[in-house]
Amino acid sequence: MLETEFSKHELDHSEADYWQERVDLAAAFRWSVKTNFHEAVANHFSLAVNASGTKFLINPNQVHFSNIKASNLLLVDINDPETMNRPDCPDPTAWGLHGALHRKCPHARCAIHLHPIYSTVLASLEDSTLPPIDQNAAMFFNRVVIDENYGGLAFEDEGNRCADLFSDPKKQVMVMGNHGLLVIGKSVADTFDRAYLFERAAGNYIRALQTGKPLRVMPEDVAEKVARDVENYPGLGQKHFEEIKIILDREEPDYIT
CATH number at 22 reads 3.40.225.10
d(CA 250, CA 196): 21
The residues facing 63 across adjacent strands are none
Q: Residue 71 to residues 14, 15, 38, 118: CA-CA distances in angstroms?
A: 11, 7, 20, 31
Phi/psi of residue 3, nearest 5 degrees: -95, 100
d(CA 135, CA 99): 33
Tell me: the pLDDT tens digits for 2-39? 333 333 333 343 545 799 999 999 999 999 999 999 99
Phi/psi of residue 57, nearest 5 degrees: -90, 145
Beta carbons within 10 angstroms of residue 141's beta carbon:
19
d(CA 172, CA 107): 10
Q: Which domain holds residue 112?
A: 5-256
d(CA 30, CA 26): 6
Q: What angle do CA 111, 114, 120 make, to 5 degrees?
A: 130
Tell me: the pLDDT tens digits for 154-212? 788 999 999 999 989 999 999 999 999 999 999 999 999 999 999 999 999 999 999 99
d(CA 192, CA 208): 24
What is the number of structural domains in the chain? 1
Higher pLDDT, 246 or 235: 246
Tell me: the pLDDT tens digits for 50-107? 989 999 999 999 999 999 999 999 999 999 989 989 888 999 999 999 999 999 998 9
Cβ atoms of 100 and 19 within 8 Å: the answer is no
